[in-house]
Amino acid sequence: MTGTTAFIKAAVIGHPVAHSKSPLIHNHWINQYRLAGHYDAIDIPPDQLANGIEGLISEGYAGFNFTIPHKERACDLCDELDEAARLIGAVNTMQIKEGRRIGMNTDAFGFITNIKTARPGFIFTGCTALVLGAGGAARAVIQGLLEEGVAKILLTNRTREKAEMLATVPQIEIFDWEDRHDRLGEADLLINTTSLGMSGQPVLDLRLALLPKRALVTDIVYAPLHTDLLKKAETQGNQTVTGIGMLLHQARPAFQAWFGVMPDVTPALEKLILGTADPAL
């Protein structure tokens, strides 16, 4: 980089935001690629989000990540949305481009790229995925699975109505949370998007012995890295993918939008983040 390169600023905005790992990730890449810039964590309460962003844009910020509780509200503050943000109904990344606010959602990319990187042999096309949970993360997971051409998504959630709201295409079948053990037999891919199994949360109660040995198991929880679900799956011979890669890969397209470099996920970065692992993005 030359001395004339502009100093680029970006930030994660949340409420609270102190536990976000995004500053560690993006500042690691700024250093790795020897760029002139900085990535901050900024706490803005929901009722001040519009004004807060306005002020930061006038200070020259190149863009933002949004975390809890802003991802849905941020859609309304964008001039345009990419297809993923529109379909998921949430914005996790904003790029300021020629004064326009471009809203993006990189969570589906993060989820799919994590599996493709960790298990390159796994074939999404035509498979049956069983998704546990129907919160914000599940929306992105489902969008990613549909883009990859899965044949069927079996979706269940403790609160059935929330799952039903996500059943927007015929490939998605909703079933009762109580039936989650019995439906395992149909799955080629099992995904936990609930907070069950996270440090401080109850474990996920699942009769995993009913899952076929061919099935790949992944958890979006990454604290602990090897959740009870993943440990049980490994013990009975199923392939697994941990959740940390989703966090790291979702950050890549955002970094590229602001800093112009598509960054790599390296073992050093993974180690840095796991050393301070915490459930919040």
**Looking at beta carbons only, is 105 or 157 nearer to ligand ATR?**
157
Please select the residue that binds ligand ATR; options are 136, 197, 243, 245, rule is CB under 6 A: 136
Under the binding rule (CB under 6 A), the answer on residue 144 touching ligand ATR is no
Under the binding rule (CB under 6 A), the answer on residue 195 touching ligand ATR is yes
Phi, psi of 40 (to 5 degrees): -110, 165
Please select the residue that binds ligand ATR; options are 5, 31, 159, 199, rule is CB under 6 A: 159
User: Measured in whole angstroms, how far is the alpha carbon of residue 276 from the centre of its chain?
Assistant: 18
Phi, psi of 264 (to 5 degrees): -95, 155
**Residues near 241 by beta carbon (within 8 Å), at least 6 away in sequence:** 114, 115, 118, 119, 216, 217, 218
- Residue linked to tokens 């061919």: 214
Phi, psi of 211 (to 5 degrees): -80, 135
Residues 29, 269: Cα–Cα separation, whole Å: 9
Please select the residue that binds ligand ATR; options are 20, 65, 105, 193, rule is CB under 6 A: 193
Residues 19-48 that bind ligand ATR (CB under 6 A): none
Residues 47, 249: Cα–Cα separation, whole Å: 30
Under the binding rule (CB under 6 A), the answer on residue 135 touching ligand ATR is yes
Q: Which two tokens stand for residue 91?
A: 């914005």
Q: Residue 264 Cβ, how far from ligand ATR at the closest point, in Å?
A: 26
Please select the residue that binds ligand ATR; options are 133, 144, 245, 263, rule is CB under 6 A: 133
Q: Residue 136 Cβ, how far from ligand ATR at the closest point, in Å?
A: 3
H helix or E strand, kind and range, residue 249: helix 244-259
Under the binding rule (CB under 6 A), the answer on residue 194 touching ligand ATR is yes
Please select the residue that binds ligand ATR; options are 15, 19, 119, 162, rule is CB under 6 A: 162
- Residue linked to tokens 């990419």: 82
Stretch that binds ligand ATR, among 98-106, 146-154, 190-198, 233-241 (CB under 6 A): 190-198
Stretch that binds ligand ATR, among 4-12, 157-165, 225-233, 243-251 (CB under 6 A): 157-165
Burial class of 116 by CB neighbour count within 10 A (0 to 12, 13 to 18, 19+): middle
Stretch that binds ligand ATR, among 38-46, 104-112, 127-135, 244-252 (CB under 6 A): 127-135
DSSP assignments along 128-184, one per residue: EEEEE--SHHHHHHHHHHHHTT-SEEEEEESSHHHHHTT--STTEEEEEGGGTTGGG
Please select the residue that binds ligand ATR; options are 81, 134, 153, 269, rule is CB under 6 A: 134
71 tagged catalytic: yes
- Check 9, 21, 71, 152 and give the catalytic one: 71
Under the binding rule (CB under 6 A), the answer on residue 197 touching ligand ATR is no
Is residue 87 classed as helix, strand or coil in its secondary structure? Answer: helix
Residue nearest ligand ATR, Cβ-based: 135
Q: Residue 101 Cβ, how far from ligand ATR at the closest point, in Å?
A: 23
Q: Which residues bind ligand ATR (CB under 6 A)?
A: 133-138, 157-159, 162, 193-196, 202
Q: Which residues are catalytic?
A: 71
